[in-house]
Structure 1
């Protein structure tokens, strides 16, 4: 089974789309870890501009990451050519469709060779390992990922067969199909006329419900079973769950809300980030840092990481409660909160507060050390609510 056939099945298409868009919509950030252990946000390396602004002249960062995820979830691998300038510096990435890529080992050097077929007028491009950005998915050997649609093609074929059956079931007008009985034999001309007239006037979904007019004592006996009797709907739902299980996607994300409630959808969405997307983010981060950063850049403390805070954001009320606790216990300032909400900093917004009755263990409270002027508390509140 090939990727295009698998994507004709709505469950596969939906799961791949959810995974691809979830990762593509998450920004990847460049950080540098200082000797003190703190980290700072940076944007001064070319790899940041490539992954955050422009991978190549034809794709946006969203389209690039989306295509790579589609290749990973259909073929088990994502392969992009590293674009370099005349000095050998990385200036871009260009992904190739996985069906066009063959990965082999050179029999002499035993190094990986990436053969890209059907490019530049049907020509083949051979690339060495250090010329490509390769992300393998689930792998048996740790080098080349396995294709989900190849290993689980039987489940996908079964789902496709249910969809085709459903289309034909209604297309052929099963609600009015049956047997026409005549008391005697029909002449060839009368038989052909009856068959042509019946197909034209009564067969098909558009003609469902029309009364059937018969001549010469003929009787019509309906034989078709209903979709529910054939367990078509139940089987399609089971197959949908099977595909969602393969890709580890919650059913409500592919528009199956059976048994869904407000509370369990929220929990399932959190589990989707933790158990489905987090491994994908980690797989990307490690391969990006290993293949797109130079040893000197890694030694200097640079690394790239997805900012998944947007995926973990709750509703406004939940965020406000979390911010209030952080502000109360002294580990969030006004500007910290405003930054999380994409708001600009304000003057004197970096003050950290703490409860008045806090003191060191075994030490008598000191009113002079812990007192906070009422005016300062009032001013802090104004800074928190100022936009």
Structure 2
């Protein structure tokens, strides 16, 4: 079977094409060409979105059926130098930022999985057969050379895919919004950097000078008067000069500073509730938004991840009970906080929560009530 090198990940191949699209679509190609990959984290809303999704998935426990060793790899330590949390976080973050994330499944001579190691998308080339287009293996570039890794020995998470082989980052759809946001922030930063003397006219009375002299006078004037360090200072002029400040429309600056459109678009693309970005919700509660976020956004990623983890030869399932506040410890704490556990919990459960030793026996199994009430079990016996 013959094969050829499939296109490399976005960092190597697709970026060149998209950079050209950015160039012909926007005036400033430098602003739009750095939205994919790690550099996108310089934008705070992108950083927040990636941190939220990657953090929520990484912190979720993964249940593994009848395989304690794989359970430890996915929940405790992925390899000898990486914790399971950091492994899962890095995999999801790369998937969101680059569209693809890769991890080498390390096995011993007997084929038993010994570790999971994250690879950078820029290291990996997907190779597929020439006749049927199926993925054969992955060619990985290391510092000491290249290595071919079989399809079954590579975890490949894709954020969004058209052909099922290569992923696309959600950031592609945000290029116009991020471009507008960055331009607005640059304008705002430039305004405050220049201080109160951000824009003005310096008139030279009864003087005719060339452009070179004008530039020199402008340079010398700004050295003495411009900048934050000179804000509020005294401007010294002679009889031949007249300084006229130009008023800046502060409404424009307020619009830039209070702009929520880009944040809303980023939240929409990533499927994250606006409340997680610090914006107030009008018609829905936080719990409702959180449930929608889990069932729609996270579930879509989890289905793809769980199916890819089948390469570990076991059945896995993510547990989001903690994120839903449905785990035992959270529910116990909530019951205690609401009414001291009265009528909800057993006596030993309440004692354990407060760090006391259980009393055991029937007394420990009795439903806890406060001292002014009668234990429910006594009422049941009476009625019988």
Alpha-carbon contact 2:153-2:311 (below 8 Å) kept: no
Q: Any conservation in 1 of the 2:188–2:257 contact (CA below 8 Å)?
A: no
Residue in 1 that maps onto 2:335: 320
1:266 CA drift (Å): 4.4
Find 2:297's aligned residue among 267, 272, 276.
276
Mapped to 2, the partners of 1:339 and 1:262 lie a distance apart of 39
Give TM-score scaled by structure 2 length.
0.72
1:8 aligns with 2:29: no
Change (3 A) 1:334 1:70: farther
Verify: 1:291 aligned to 2:314, yes or no.
no
Residue 238 of structure 1 is matched in structure 2 by 261
Aligned to 2:115: 92
Offset at 1:128? 2.2
Q: State how 1:128-139 maps to structure 2 within 5 Å.
A: 128-139=150-161
Shift of 1:96: 1.2
CA distance in 1, matches of 2:358, 2:142: 50
C-alpha contact (below 8 Å) 2:108/2:114 kept by paired residues:
yes
1:214-229 correspondence runs (5 A): 214-223=237-246, 225-229=248-252
Specify which of 8, 19, 29 is matched with residue 53 of structure 2: 19
- Number of residue equivalences: 334
Note the C-alpha offset of 1:234.
5.7
Cα separation, partners in 2 of 1:151 and 1:119, compared to 1, 3 Å:
farther
Residues 242/50 of structure 1: CA separation in 2 closer, same or farther (3 Å cut): same
Call closer, same or farther: CA 1:210–1:316 in 2, change over 3 Å: farther
Aligned with 2:378 (options 374, 380, 384) = 374
Partners of 1:343 and 1:113 lie apart in 2 by 59
- The answer as to whether partners of 1:174 and 1:225 remain within 8 angstroms in 2 is no
Per the alignment, residue 157 of structure 1 pairs with: 179
Contact 1:20 1:66 in 2 (8 A): yes
Specify whether residues 336 and 78 from structure 1 end up closer, same or farther in structure 2 by C-alpha distance, changes over 3 A only. Answer: farther
Corresponding position: 1:310 with 2:322: yes
Deviation at 1:221, TM superposition (A): 2.2
Question: Contact conserved, 2:127 with 2:139, CA < 8 A, in 1?
Answer: no
**TM-superposition CA deviations, 1:275-309 (whole Å, max 9, x none):** 33333333323332x22125xxxxxxxx3222212
Where does residue 163 of structure 2 map in the other structure? 141
- SS of the residue 1:88 aligns to: coil
Verify: 1:50 aligned to 2:73, yes or no: yes
Going from structure 1 to structure 2, the CA distance change for 1:48 and 1:263 (only over 3 Å counts) comes to same
**Aligned partner (choices 203, 210, 223) of residue 181 of structure 1:** 203
Show the counterpart of 2:29.
none
- Contact 1:252/1:260, CA 8 A, preserved across alignment: yes
Counterparts of 1:18 and 1:247, CA distance in 2 = 10
Counterpart-to-counterpart distance in 1, 2:332 and 2:103:
42
Q: Map 1:205-216 to 2 at 5 A.
A: 205-216=228-239
With over 3 angstroms needed to count, the CA separation of the structure-2 counterparts of 1:82 and 1:170, relative to structure 1, is same
- Asked whether the 8 Å contact 2:135–2:165 carries over to 1, the reply is no
Residue ranges of structure 1 left out of the alignment (5+ in a row): 33-43, 295-302, 354-371, 378-387
SS in 1 for 2:285: helix
Q: How does 1:27-66 map to 2 (within 5 A)?
A: 27-31=61-65, 44-66=67-89
CA distance in 2, matches of 1:212, 1:89: 77
**Structure 2 partner of 1:264:** 285
CA RMSD of aligned residues (A): 4.0
| Secondary structure, counterpart of 2:263 in structure 1 | helix
Runs of 4+ in 1 over 6 A off after TM superposition: 314-318, 321-324, 326-329, 332-346
Q: Aligned partners of 1:4, 1:233: CA distance in 2, in Å?
A: 25
Instruction: State the alpha-carbon separation in 1 of the partners of residues 356 and 284 from structure 2.
Output: 30
- How many angstroms does 1:187 deviate by? 5.7
Deviation at 1:84, TM superposition (A): 0.5
**What's the counterpart of residue 218 of structure 2?**
195
Paired residues of 1:159 and 1:240 also in contact (CA < 8 A): no
